[in-house]
Each structure stands twice: as C-alpha cells, then as structure tokens.
Amino acid sequence: MSDAALRAVLKTQLADLQAQGLYKRERQIETPQGAVIRVAGREVINFCANNYLGLANNPEVVAAAHEGLKKFGYGLSSVRFICGTQTLHRDLEGEIAKFHGKDDTILYTSCFDANGGLFETILGEQDAVISDALNHASIIDGIRLCKAKRFRYQHADLADLERCLKEAEGCRLKLIATDSVFSMDGDLAPLPAICDLAERFGAAVMIDECHGTGHLGAGGRGAAEALGCLDRIDIITSTLGKTLGGSAGGFTTGPQEVVDFLRQRSRPYLFSNALTPSLAYASKTAIDLIHRSGDLRARLQENTKQLRGDLERAGFQVKPGQSPILPVMIGDAALAAKMADALLERGIYVIGFSFPVVPQGQARIRIQVSAAHTREHIDRAAKAFTEVGRELGII
Ligand SMILES: *Cc1c(COP(=O)(O)O)cnc(C)c1O
C-alpha cells in the first residue's frame, strides 16, 4: 500500500466522522486541573473531570511529587523486573493492598494496561469469563486477548448473568468481570447479588473500581465498600488517574497467587516501563489523603445531592444512581452538543455524549460533580442548565 492510498482511506473515514458529528475536538486548558479552569482565555467551572475529590492539584500531592522527583529522580529507563523497581514501588503496592484489604498489588502504567494484562494471563482455554455488556473498553479489549470462553450478560441483569453462569458450568475457572461504577450512566453494579451468584456457581469476581476508588464508600475504598461487599470481591483493578491525584497509573489488587502470576506473565507489566518515581511517590500521599478525606467525601455527596435535586426540580431527566456522575438525558445528539456549547458560553464546562459512546437516541450531558465545587459553583451550574434548557425547549 502506498502512502497516498493510506492517506486516502483515512481521509474518507475522517470525513465520515465529521459528517456524522462524531469528530472529537480537544479543548486546550491553560491552567492546572481544578474546579475552575481557563479555556480559550475564559474562566469556566469544570464539570467534566474525574477529579471527584479535587486532589488533582492538591498542594500536598504536588509537594510529594516534587519530593519524589528529588529523592528518586525523574525516570527509570527500565521495566520493573530488570532494574525498574524502587523501594517506593513496593511501598505503594503495599499501601494499596492494605487499603483494599487484599494480599498484594501490582502496579501498571494505566488501568487500561491492568485490564489489558489481566484476563489472558490468568485464564486459559478451559476457563470462562462472564462480562457485563456495558463494561469499559479496556475490559472488553482485555477479554478479547484471552482464550477463555466468553459470555456477555445484559447490563446489570442478574437473571442473564445466571444464564451465563449455567452455560459456563463445566469450565475449570469462571470469572465474572464488571465495572463497579458505569461511567456513562453513573449507576453501580449490583455487587452483593453478583457475589451471591458467584458463590452459588463457584465463580470468582473481578471489578474495575476506576470511578469508585477514593470517593465512594465511607473509607473511599470504592463501590464495593459502599455496597458492603469489599471482602467478597476477589480481584480489583483501578486507576491512579482519577480520584487518587489524577495523574496516571493503574493497579490490580487481589490474592497473592494472582499478583505473583501477573508479575511473571502479564505482558503490559513485563514489556512496558516502570511507573514514574515522582508519580508513585505522590500516589502514596494521595492514598494517605484519602484516609483523611471523610469531609471531602461528605462534601461530594452534598454537592451531588444538591445539583441532582436542582436539575430534577427544573424538569430535567437525570438518570438515577448513587455516584457523582449525573447523566442529564437529552436524546438527540445534535441537541446535546448544542446544549454543551451553550453551557460553555455561560461558563459551565460539560460534554455531550452521543452514539457510539452511548446508545443511539440516548445522547446526554454528563455532569461530574467534585468536592472542589463550592455551593456557588453548584448554584451557577443549576441556573445555567435551567436557562439553556428552556431556551432549547428541553424543559
Ligand atoms: C478511566 C477508566 C479506565 C482507564 O484508566 P486509566 O488509568 O486512565 O488507563 C479503565 N476502566 C474504567 C472503568 C475507567 O473509567
């Protein structure tokens, strides 16, 4: 294939994306991440970051990153098993395991890698993996790589999960895999009932806590803690790139044998560079902050309750859920995009999501509330939504 042919094929596909209104443009932020940011020279209130407790630019975390840089240097130029493991990596792995009450933890440079390197490593042809239909792309890709028999159940549908478990009977190992919080809908997986089914059918449970770690549950241990079944979950994957400081990095925590085997065989771990020292160092501080952040979690809940109530009273349809993700249902993709633009004009930064990220005809504005938002930020958002919603005939 010539270079011209490659360009021509991609040019057509890019034009298609534009024509369908699916082309993503990146707005450039001129400040650190926070409740208020500057975009194109204008200050706006940010309601689309995964910065649920506002730790992304927390002074203690920033100071720890500086200290880590000074003590342990900038980079390692090595994968973990050659010469890329510093004391701080094992410290952080220990802290995360303790935090979740698991045996051990293995760090990755992202949760995408943690999920990508999990299934094919621990499951073989004789095994079965049973996955929620709305799981994150990284779980889907991870499962694609593995040779186990694959079963998919309708989103959060326990009867359908049971059907899959019955079909998987006779397999050597059975692993149920689910997001704990679904990022586009803000709902929590029915984890206690999933654990009940797992016990009945002798299956293990793996959850991805990316949108739960740090801010859900009384101690910030995620949706599993919030739903009272943390000790019944076998394997947890999560990210350091959302609530826990928002930089980058991911992990898998669980039984010793699982973590030991991942260290021996998980490809994104074996064949990719070690986590940056300053980041690993600061993440330990972020976890320490999580232990002391009960007030921030309470503020997050209050903010979420306030904004959900305001929007519902104004007449918006907000998907029900227990997380700080508020999906405001619009329906039409073009209308959702128009609404997001009009909100930005009023200083409220949110994003409209449409097909293929969400089902056709279910376009929505996803609001992500943060503990860093003040009461005034929440009030301004509610006011702007109401004005724009009326202007566009949504409410
Ligand atoms: C964000 C996210 C990931 C990816 O995490 P990274 O550390 O950014 O790679 C994986 N799973 C879920 C459910 C997520 O929301």
Q: Which residue is closest in CA terms to ligand 1's atom 12? A: 210
Average pLDDT value over all residues in the chain: 97
Q: What is the chain's percent helix, strand, coil content, to nearest 5?
A: 45, 15, 40
Our mutation pick for probing the ligand 1 site, out of 119, 134, 135, 136, counting the most ligand atoms within 8 A of Cβ, is 136
- Give the integer Cα–Cα distance in Å for 341 and 269: 40
Please indicate whether residue 242 is annotated as part of the active site.
yes
Our mutation pick for probing the ligand 1 site, out of 107, 112, 181, 237, counting the most ligand atoms within 8 A of Cβ, is 112
The residue among 353, 309, 343 whose CA lies nearest residue 45 is: 343
Predicted pLDDT of residue 348: 98
Distance of CA 389 to the CA centre of its chain: 28
Residue type, 164: C
**Residues 1-22: tens digit of each pLDDT:** 679 999 999 999 999 988 887 8
Q: Who lines ligand 1 at CB under 6 A?
A: 110-112, 136, 138, 179, 183, 208, 210-211, 239, 241, 250
Predicted pLDDT of residue 384: 98
- Give the integer Cα–Cα distance in Å for 189 and 207: 9
The residue among 222, 255, 385 whose CA lies nearest residue 316 is: 385
Q: Give, in words, the CATH class of 22-53+294-391.
A: alpha beta
Residue-wise DSSP of 224-289: HHHTT-GGG--EEEEESSSSSSSSS-EEEEE-HHHHHHHHHH-HHHHTSPPPPHHHHHHHHHHHHH
Ligand 1 centroid vs 261 CA: distance in angstroms?
22
**Residues 119-148: tens digit of each pLDDT:** 999 999 999 999 999 999 999 999 999 999
**Residues 266-286: tens digit of each pLDDT:** 999 999 999 999 999 999 999
Q: Which residue is closest in CA terms to ligand 1's atom 14? A: 210
Q: Does the model's pTM come out above 0.95?
A: yes
Q: Does 32 have pLDDT greater than 80?
A: yes
Taking residue 359's Cβ as centre, other Cβ atoms within 10 Å add up to 11
175 membership: H or E segment, kind and range: strand 174-179
For the chain, what percent of residues have pLDDT higher than 70? 100
Predicted pLDDT of residue 342: 97
Q: How many alpha carbons fall within 13 Å on the CB side of residue 101?
A: 12
Mean pLDDT of 310-323: 97
Q: What CATH number does the domain located at 59-291 have? A: 3.40.640.10
**Residues 41-88: tens digit of each pLDDT:** 999 999 999 999 999 999 999 999 999 999 999 999 999 999 999 999
Please indicate whether residue 211 is annotated as part of the active site.
yes
**Residues 91-128: tens digit of each pLDDT:** 999 999 999 999 999 999 999 999 999 999 999 999 99
Same CATH topology for 22-53+294-391 and 59-291: the answer is no
Per the listing, tokens 């999920």 go with: 115
Predicted pLDDT of residue 24: 86
**Residues 138-193: tens digit of each pLDDT:** 999 999 999 999 999 999 999 999 999 999 999 999 999 999 999 999 999 999 99
The ranges assigned to domains in the chain are 22-53+294-391, 59-291
Predicted pLDDT of residue 1: 60
Predicted pLDDT of residue 23: 86
Q: Which residue is closest in CA terms to ligand 1's atom 15? A: 210
